[in-house]
Structure formats: structure tokens, C-alpha cells
Amino acid sequence: MNQTVLVLNANFEPLNVCDTRRAIGLLLTGKAEMVANGRGLIHAARQSYPRPSVIRLEHMVKRPRPRVKLTKREVFRRDNYTCQYCGRQVGHLTIDHVEPRHRGGQHRWDNLVAACQPCNRQKGGRSALEANMHLRHRPAEPTATAAYLFGRHLADNADWAKYIEGW
């Protein structure tokens, strides 16, 4: 019941990911229809229900374009879990402000990068130019495409690819 289910809008745009329990509730109340099963059945006392993998809402849901939330995990994901100064992929990364906060640097996408601990210590409270350290990539806010938002679920749910890749 805790498996993830892809929720599509009425026009087949990927909206969200929910668990199987919520998806079955939407199906039983007539708010959604099942698009892909592929997971077998859920047996209740008197009836069996198909276990959905992808559902589509019956009515169109209008919503603003999604944005990626600014979190430590998302900064690491944007930077591919790689130090932006030396290029190493290490197990323990830190967040570095390119322009230090005590010098007026903001806590924004374009001022945050992933850094390994030695590089972060070497840079200290200086700017990257003062520390003579160069960034591998210019930091920017990632675009919230369906592949970026839901791509991490594709390894477990290969049948979602045709619904995610088109958006």
C-alpha cells in the first residue's frame, strides 16, 4: 500500500506522486481513472481491487508552474553530488555560499553550491575570487520539468517513462 503511484492531470500532464492507498481512494470515489495497472490486485474481504501504477484525474486541475524548493538535498542533486570547486564526488558534502552571507550574499539558488569539506574550509569566509577558487558550473535554479521532479522514481517504475518524458 506504500508503493508510489503517478497522478496525471486530465490532459495527461504529470501532477504528483501519491501512495497506493490515496490512489485507490481517488479511484473508488470516481475522481480518477486507472491508466496503468501492472502490479496485480489488492484483496479485501469481499472484493479485489486493481493496484494502480498510473492514474488520471477526471477533471482538469489548474495550478501554477511548479518550482524546485531550495533545500540542501536539491542543491546536491542539481550539482550531481559533486564538489563545484574540485570536481570530486565524495560521500559528505557541504553547502557553500559563493558570496559569503556576512558580506551580503543571499541564500538563493544562484549563490549556493555543493562543496567538499576541504574546499569549503580552504575558501573560508572569502569570495571564490579572493580564495582563487573557480566554480565548475555557474549556479542557477533548476527548471522544474517532469523528468527532474519525478525522474528519481523511474528506476522503480519503468512504465512511467512514457508519461514523464513528453513533458
Q: How far apart are the first and last CA of the chain?
A: 27
Instruction: Say which residue, 100 or 50, is predicted with more confidence.
Output: 100
CA-closest candidate to residue 32, choices 52, 62, 47, 48: 52
pLDDT at 82: 96
pLDDT for res 167:
67
- Rounded to whole angstroms, what are the CA distances from 4 to 20, 52, 151? 6, 9, 13
Q: What are phi and psi of 153, to 5 degrees?
A: -85, -10
For the segment 107-135, the average pLDDT, to the nearest whole number, is 94
* Amino acid 61: pLDDT: 93
C-beta separation of 86 from 93 below 8 A: no
For residue 106, give the amino acid letter: Q
Q: pLDDT exceeding 70 applies to what percent of the chain?
A: 99
**Whole-model pTM above 0.95?**
no
DSSP SS3 for 62: coil
pLDDT digits (tens, 9 = 90+) for 37-95: 877 888 888 888 888 999 999 999 998 888 999 999 999 999 999 999 999 999 899 99
Q: Where are the domains of the chain?
A: 4-65+144-164, 68-142
> In the predicted model, what is the mean pLDDT of residues 109-124?
95
Q: Give yes or no for residue 147 having a pLDDT over 80.
A: yes
Asked if the 68-142 domain carries CATH number 1.10.30, the reply is: yes
The residue that leads in pLDDT, 131 or 153, is 131
